[in-house]
Structure 1
Amino acid sequence: MNPADIGAALEVTFDGRHYHFRQYRYDHLDDALRYASAQHRAPGFMKDSVFQPQWLPKFAPDEAQEVQMRDLDIGFAAGRFSVGAYRYEKLDDAVAYVRHARPGNIVPQ
């Protein structure tokens, strides 16, 4: 069984970056599946009647974002953008940090 099918059976989704079970968010599939499985086995557990399976492709920066990242020396690994030791979920946040930390840089809007 593939991860999307296992996830759907346990009401786990993937948004391209994170795994979700109800209101919880996980970086690792195993953590989401382990918790969801434990909840499904718990006495009185009720399935979510409005659950919709979703399994998006893994997120990767597009070509325009890669150019911007290269120009500003912003990295990307494990689903996060990075500037030095700082990690960001959104490229805009990493760019904002570069604007603040390196005020001499001309950063395109």
Structure 2
Amino acid sequence: MIRGIRGAITVVEDSNEQVLKETARLLQELIHSNDIDPDAVASVIISTTTDITSAFPARAVRGLEGWNYVPVMCTHEMNVPGALEKCIRLLVHVNTDKSQQAIQHIYLNNAVQLRPDLIQK
């Protein structure tokens, strides 16, 4: 069955280095927490808030070993007043036998405020 695994992270500044580094950090945490094998991944959708324009976060995904053939698409989030700034969100579609409750969604930096109910204690 395909499950969606969510994650989000914020960057301190909109720079190529920060966007790529923090995207890779988020994905590596998702991989580690959910035992993700890139061959089991159907696709990855990455969104950024509209204040991130310095880099395509997909480059960070494709830079990880074994992930260069995984379909990845970047897009922008809706520009809602008062929304969290400088945020990168991932939605990883994974073939897994895990239940919805067993999936560990990951929220890092200021993104923890997006889904405090899902933060692992």
Q: TM-score range by the shorter chain?
A: under 0.3
| Larger relative contact order (Cα-Cα within 8 Å, sequence gap ≥ 6) | 2
Whose Rg is larger?
1
More strand by share: 2
Q: What TM-score results when the alignment is normalised by the length of structure 2?
A: 0.23
